[in-house]
């Protein structure tokens, strides 16, 4: 435990370091080339993602925030007084503020992220605005086990209901088998009476979905090409980003938007000293964004030992929030 201004604690759980070079080389060596989307988020990538959330076609963020505001009183009633909010992958400060403002005198908030600097800064900013709230920050990879009982929380916070908050439909970016694994991991943080509050985007028309993931201003395309630029810069690569065309399409059979970069011509390139070929029209698979119905998500949650207590669906573009209990 180290002291940090305004924080009750900062703990570094030493998440295993990601191996950018090995992961990128492995992805480029697959028959269907694929890059892990977790590497999108360098400084420029995080800035571009924020810009995506402001595009008129990308309904996801605004819809979820409106829904969260609308259901605030119901969330407060379900959480009761003195809840402890735990947020894996602490991301959007506006969403967590919306939740904290809705709850009846929450006892504590614990933010966690794989980047220690990021989570510490985000939690310190929150602490400055919520001076009475016990706030802790954890450098942790939320796909790994975590013993919540071992956190240095006050006695009051230990007694509070735990509400794990996982907004943004981030769960949709995982392959279903990994989404199930993640739900099972989050399930281990919960005792009887605790809850997982999770946002999931829903199926809708292919037009709406394809526009949301390929905005007119080209921000999502730039977000994808930024990972190519990062590979060229950090791994001494020479991929011609100009010869890659971004494409997003709805796959109804797998209920997901799939994002690709397509080669406009044959290309030979090297990354970290290794040679690769990509043929004209061949693609690099960049990301998936799964879309659910209430039933498909509840089935997945049930497999992870989580039952739906309550679900809310936004009135406009359908997006759902779920209150799940063990």
Chain residues in the site for ligand AVI (CB under 6 A):
52, 60, 168-170, 172-173, 213, 220, 287, 289
Give me the least distance between CB of 173 and ligand AVI, in Å please.
5
Q: Which is nearer to ligand AVI, 8 or 226 (CB)?
A: 226
State how beta strands 283-290 and 33-34 pair: parallel
Q: Which is nearer to ligand AVI, 60 or 126 (CB)?
A: 60
Give me the least distance between CB of 289 and ligand AVI, in Å please.
3
CB half-sphere exposure, 79, CA atoms < 13 A: 29
As a whole number of angstroms, the distance between CA 150 and CA 11 comes to 11
Tell me how crowded residue 168 is: count the other CB atoms within 10 A of its CB: 19
Give me the least distance between CB of 6 and ligand AVI, in Å please.
28
Give me the least distance between CB of 210 and ligand AVI, in Å please.
12
Closest CA to 186 of 162, 204, 168: 162
296 exposure class (CB count in 10 Å sphere: 0-12, 13-18, 19+): middle
3-state secondary structure at position 91: coil
Q: Which is nearer to ligand AVI, 40 or 269 (CB)?
A: 40
Q: Which is nearer to ligand AVI, 269 or 297 (CB)?
A: 297
Q: Which is nearer to ligand AVI, 169 or 226 (CB)?
A: 169
For 93, 105, 201, 220, 221, the CA distances from 228, given in Å and listed in that order, are 28, 45, 27, 13, 11
Give me the least distance between CB of 164 and ligand AVI, in Å please.
17
Q: Which is nearer to ligand AVI, 6 or 55 (CB)?
A: 55
Give me the least distance between CB of 217 and ligand AVI, in Å please.
13
Residue partners of 253: CB distance under 8 A and separation at least 6:
none
φ, ψ of residue 136 to 5 degrees: the values are -120, 155
């Amino acid at each position: 435990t180290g002291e940090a201004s305004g924080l009750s604690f900062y703990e570094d759980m030493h998440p295993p370091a990601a191996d950018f070079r090995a992961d990128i080389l492995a992805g480029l060596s697959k028959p269907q080339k694929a890059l892990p989307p977790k590497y999108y988020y360098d400084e420029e990538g995080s800035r571009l993602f924020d810009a995506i959330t402001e595009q008129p076609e990308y309904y996801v963020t605004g819809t979820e925030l409106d829904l969260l505001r609308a259901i605030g009183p119901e969330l407060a009633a379900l959480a009761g007084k003195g809840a402890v909010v735990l947020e894996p992958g602490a991301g959007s400060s506006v969403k967590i503020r919306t939740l904290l403002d809705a709850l009846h005198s929450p006892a504590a908030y614990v933010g966690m992220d794989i980047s220690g600097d990021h989570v510490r800064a985000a939690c310190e900013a929150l602490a400055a605005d919520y001076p009475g709230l016990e706030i802790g920050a954890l450098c942790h990879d939320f796909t790994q086990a975590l013993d919540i009982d071992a956190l240095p929380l006050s006695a009051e916070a230990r007694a509070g209901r735990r509400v794990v908050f996982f907004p943004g439909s981030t769960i949709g970016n995982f392959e279903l088998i990994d989404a199930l694994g993640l739900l099972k991991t989050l399930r281990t943080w919960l005792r009887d009476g605790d809850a997982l509050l999770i946002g999931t985007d829903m199926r809708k028309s292919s037009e709406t979905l394809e526009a949301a993931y390929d905005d007119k201003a080209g921000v999502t395309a730039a977000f994808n090409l930024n990972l190519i630029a990062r590979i060229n810069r950090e791994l001494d690569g020479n991929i011609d980003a100009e010869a890659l065309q971004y494409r997003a399409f709805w796959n109804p059979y797998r209920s997901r938007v799939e994002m690709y970069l397509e080669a406009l011509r044959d290309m030979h390139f090297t990354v970290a000293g290794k040679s690769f070929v990509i043929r004209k029209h061949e693609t690099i698979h960049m990301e998936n964004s799964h879309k659910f119905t209430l039933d498909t998500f509840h089935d997945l949650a049930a497999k992870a030992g989580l039952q739906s207590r309550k679900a809310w669906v936004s009135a406009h573009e359908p997006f759902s929030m779920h209150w799940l209990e063990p």
